[in-house]
Amino acid sequence: ISASDIRIDGKFTGKLYTKGKLVIGEKALVDGVVVCNSADIWGTIEGTFTVGDIVTFRSGSSFDGSLKTIRICIEMGAEYSGDCTIIDEVEFKSISAEYMR
């Protein structure tokens, strides 16, 4: 749990919650449950991903899992496999509140 921005350039497995921005570097692998305010994905993410504003999947990134977000951007060259649900701020606050208990 963090109140600040986080950048991952290695392998992370588990649960991650940040009120800030999450950046996943080009060689990074994140596997688990992630809740963040915004995200910029250059590497690989697998699992359950919830974003309170915008998530951007950059060219060369890979996603496999379940995404809930307010806004999404997928660049050409990004791989996306899974489902995507567009949520509103109220639903994001409800989801993120579960991680602050």
Q: Name the band, by pLDDT with cuts 50, 70 and 90, for residue 89.
A: very high
Q: Compute the distance between CA of residue 42 and CA of residue 55 in angstroms, rounded to an integer.
A: 11
Cα 60 → chain centroid: 16
Please name the helix (run of DSSP H) or strand (run of DSSP E) that holds residue 1, with its range, or none: none
Q: Is the pLDDT of residue 92 over 90?
A: yes
pTM: 0.94
DSSP bridge pairs for 29? 11, 44
Q: Is the pLDDT of residue 101 over 80?
A: no
Strands across the sheet with 29-41, in order? Answer: 6-8, 11-24, 29-41, 44-57, 62-74, 79-86
Residue 36 has what pLDDT?
Answer: 97
CA distances from 33 to 11, 19, 100 (A): 14, 14, 14
What does the block give as tokens for 37? Answer: 């305010």
Residue 99 has what pLDDT?
Answer: 77
